[in-house]
Structure 1
């Protein structure tokens, strides 16, 4: 295959994105990304408005990683393409396996450097698609997973584009050899202890002997699955119009859907919040519990990275667990009231605006139980627990609402309530603000 044929393919794939002025190539230095960079470097000359650059991620996992980085620098210098090298820390204790953890770190680096509207171009080809579909099929994926590798998708502030997906590795290798290109051979690509390599070297060649047209068939299955997923996405978006109550899922309306649409809607909401979903078994069992538990219960569906909680008539989809994310700190925080007080990602920041005088003994605490507040226009102290319930503050956030004391007297509960005396003491124009915290309602 000639380089001109590769460029023709790139031109066709990038035509829908012809208005994008910035292209960023994910460069490993291997065969596929080397061919991609050469092709794009030549194609970019046709578009004088295009700015082309490359990024190489150094995972620090292989003894030759520094040599690979040097090779990428040399290649980009020869082609006069700016290169950015990103070093990442791969979380080997995540339980995902080395390959998946490295991929996660790599794409996090890509996302962080992508500019608004920029295209991230990767060198995935037809054989990558076959391997991905088979891997996901063996892991029990649904239609979204079987849709496998999309040609184009939203990514960070820009787009992820895979313009070589219609070409096979043999075609790319023929192009590279015909043009005397040099590339890196990663020895780990031969390690059949890794699932993808086992499929690539041992399983797929045997399948092709029996079914020579399997690559095209699997590619067709992936396209059909992607179309089916688009329909499910559209159905969920339609259901969301009637079931969603702002950011919350209204239980009564959710119960009006059949089980498959309930699960489809939950997956849709998780995707909209950029939360990785739990397993299909967890979704089915968890939804059943959330929908059928007694009214006096507050059931929770938890999984690494997300959770769904029920409170009263709604389901709350949360990215993290407030009980685990609350910043550990002293039980009592002394405060002069004049500077904003940072309390952490969940608990936010407390500020008193236009505070007069120099109040002494101010301190911030969190619930221990039994707190009472004499609110303005009330004759008697009220239990804080009852006030939270009446206001609809969700149970899992009640322990994270900052309580402002002066010595042992409760003056304010976040910016939700002030004591009668403190409201008078603040005076006209002064106010307390609680900001940057997780939503308590």
Structure 2
């Protein structure tokens, strides 16, 4: 097994700093022992991280065990305590999410996890039963990126019985988590009930399922390559071209739309994907179709499918907010390219006061940046008020000329409908002086010998 892991490290160089995700269980104990034995040959610094989930009465004892084992191998151990919040997830998923929050914050080149071939087979079955797509069926890769960290699985091709044999041959000590035999948990039910039955009916089932995962991964890679090819001229800052989607057959168009959502980190819902493609292509020209994807919606605007992230209500403003960077740019003139939606604020969170600071934080509505400029921008006193648009406002963009409704000005400027709903507006003594995406009211335009303020709106990220 040592030779097999050494070959893995040649294929997937771990860099100078390699960390092991160490639970204290059988698999991670064997992985830690193997990597400790190989660190001299591959010249990496080895460390371990143990995540204390606080779910078992034995959790503190496991920490003691892990410390003892790491000390014996001269491997520094970091223990991270987390709070597992279910928040609509099952316990397994919530614990995994908490672990990966820890993993993604590690300052290492690579993180090695101890999933093995039987885990891979179980994952393929679970994904099949969930109706997963090609990427889900590909299950766990040997290597993937976790932010800037390489996530490695050196034991992914090794069966569980070989890991057990190695542990016994080397006299290793590990902990047993009682929850691993709780068949109320789906993975345990697959491990203890379904997989033995499959092996009885189809000898070598685990091997076949693991091989299938590799084939699914290859197919998923080809679909990604096709989507990148189709999206090369179709995806822009404005969104995804509706015309390009219409040129493709349905399966290929869905693949491109899936790719667009994945680029923005939106979880894929298969039926929603079909619905979204249908609405974006088939809704009448003057319609504004909206498809909900949970954390975001898809909309159609000016010939593009646009991803609109849903934001929380702006937080209650403070009476006075401190400085910030003065390096703000003039108000942005580009129209309708926002990928963000601002939900209506609560009644007590509509007003902010500006006292001359360089940046005014508007919470979930973003921020306003103010830069002083001679003879340009908005003429403001020492204090102004910022409110979010509610409708019915008027502004006079040029003088001489009449005041016009912001509704019409925003429509003519091509500002996206969802962005028009709540824009930050700057008022002086109750009069509208400046509107995001439109600019200054003529009555408040700084004269040649006056100091004005260039205001730019930083939309929420």
Q: Settle same-fold status: TM greater than 0.5.
A: yes
Residues 359-374 of structure 1: pairs in structure 2 closer than 5 A: 359=381, 362-374=384-396
Aligned to 1:238: 229
Q: Distance in 2 between matches of 1:52 and 1:360?
A: 58
Aligned to 1:340: 359
Report the Cα offset of residue 428 of structure 1. Answer: 6.2
Aligned to 1:3: none
Q: Distance in 2 between matches of 1:198 and 1:272?
A: 34
Q: TM-score, normalised by structure 1?
A: 0.91
Aligned to 1:108: 101
1:187 aligns with 2:178: yes
Aligned to 1:69: 63
Q: Which moved more, 1:175-184 or 1:337-346?
A: 337-346
Report the Cα offset of residue 358 of structure 1. Answer: 7.8
Report the Cα offset of residue 246 of structure 1. Answer: 3.0
Aligned to 2:111: 120
Aligned residues: CA RMSD: 2.2
1:253-279 alpha-carbon deviations (Å, 9 max, x no partner): 2111111111111211222222222x2
**Which secondary structure does the structure 2 equivalent of 1:113 belong to?**
coil
Is the 8 Å Cα contact of residues 117 and 158 (structure 2) preserved in structure 1?
yes
Q: TM-score, normalised by structure 2?
A: 0.87
Is the 8 Å Cα contact of residues 334 and 364 (structure 1) preserved in structure 2?
yes
Aligned to 1:32: 27
**Which secondary structure does the structure 1 equivalent of 2:140 belong to?**
coil
Is the 8 Å Cα contact of residues 360 and 406 (structure 1) preserved in structure 2?
no
Q: 1:435 to 1:39 in 2, by over 3 A?
A: farther
The answer for unaligned runs of 5 or more in structure 2 is 312-339
1:317 aligns with 2:310: no
Aligned to 2:288: 298
**Which secondary structure does the structure 1 equivalent of 2:421 belong to?**
helix
Q: Distance in 2 between matches of 1:372 and 1:336?
A: 24
The answer for unaligned runs of 5 or more in structure 1 is 1-5
Is the 8 Å Cα contact of residues 375 and 419 (structure 1) preserved in structure 2?
yes
Aligned to 1:420: 442
1:410 aligns with 2:435: no
Q: Which moved more, 1:39-48 or 1:417-426?
A: 417-426
**Which secondary structure does the structure 2 equivalent of 1:337 belong to?**
coil
Is the 8 Å Cα contact of residues 275 and 319 (structure 1) preserved in structure 2?
no
Aligned to 2:319: none
Corresponding residue pairs, total? 429
As a proportion of its length, which structure holds more helix?
A: 1
Q: Which moved more, 1:406-415 or 1:152-161?
A: 406-415
Q: Which moved more, 1:187-196 or 1:354-363?
A: 354-363
Report the Cα offset of residue 228 of structure 1. Answer: 0.7
Q: Distance in 2 between matches of 1:431 and 1:157?
A: 40
Q: Distance in 2 between matches of 1:140 and 1:167?
A: 27
